[in-house]
Amino acid sequence: MVRLITHNLLACHVKNCNANNFPLEFQNVQLEIREAEFNPEFVKGFLPKIEWKALVDTARQLGDTSLPNEQPEMLDDDFLKNLHHVLLEIHVEEGSMVCPNCKHEYPISSGIPNMLLAEHEIA
């Protein structure tokens, strides 16, 4: 499955595609929501490593508008719960991820993204 935690870490790696290759754009997605155990300490620990704008924009594309444009200074429980939901509970089961730069398409099938490239595409 591609959850947004994973999506926030993936980038296009086609040969010579080095700029504007993140975030990949979801297309034709089928979503599933699965509850995950809330661990506020984990969410706080991961927060500094998130590419925030990419996460907020992608969540909105998938229909979740709960996150603010800027990371808040006060990390209250409501915010952490919304972030937990966005990162860990929205599963993209089918569809694809497309590179904004070279348009390479990474298909997602039965929840597993295919990040393999053909031999000639590898850097």
Closest listed residue to residue 12, CA positions, set 93, 94, 95, 106: 106
Task: Choose the binding region for other proteins from 8-16, 61-69, 75-83 (rule: CB under 8 A).
Answer: 8-16
Return d(Cα 80, Cα 47) in angstroms, integer. 10
* Residue 90 interacting entry, from Zn ion, other proteins, none, C-beta within 5 to 8 Å by type: none
Report if residue 101 touches Zn ion, rule: CB under 5 A. yes
Task: Choose the binding region for other proteins from 32-40, 60-68, 73-81 (rule: CB under 8 A).
Answer: 32-40
Return d(Cα 114, Cα 94) in angstroms, integer. 11
* Residue 101 interacting entry, from Zn ion, other proteins, none, C-beta within 5 to 8 Å by type: Zn ion
Report if residue 112 touches other proteins, rule: CB under 8 A. yes
Residue 45: other Cβ atoms inside 10 A: 10
Contact 114, 34 (CB under 8 A): no
> Using CB under 8 A, which of 20, 27, 30, 44 touches other proteins?
44
* Residue 1 interacting entry, from other proteins, Zn ion, none, C-beta within 5 to 8 Å by type: other proteins
Report if residue 104 touches other proteins, rule: CB under 8 A. no
Contact 19, 99 (CB under 8 A): no
Closest listed residue to residue 14, CA positions, set 102, 88, 100: 102
Residue 9 DSSP class: T
> Using CB under 8 A, which of 69, 70, 76, 110 touches other proteins?
110
Residue 119 DSSP class: G
Tell me which residues touch other proteins (CB under 8 A): 1-3, 5-6, 9-11, 13, 22, 34, 36-37, 39, 41-47, 49, 51, 91, 110-117, 119, 122-123
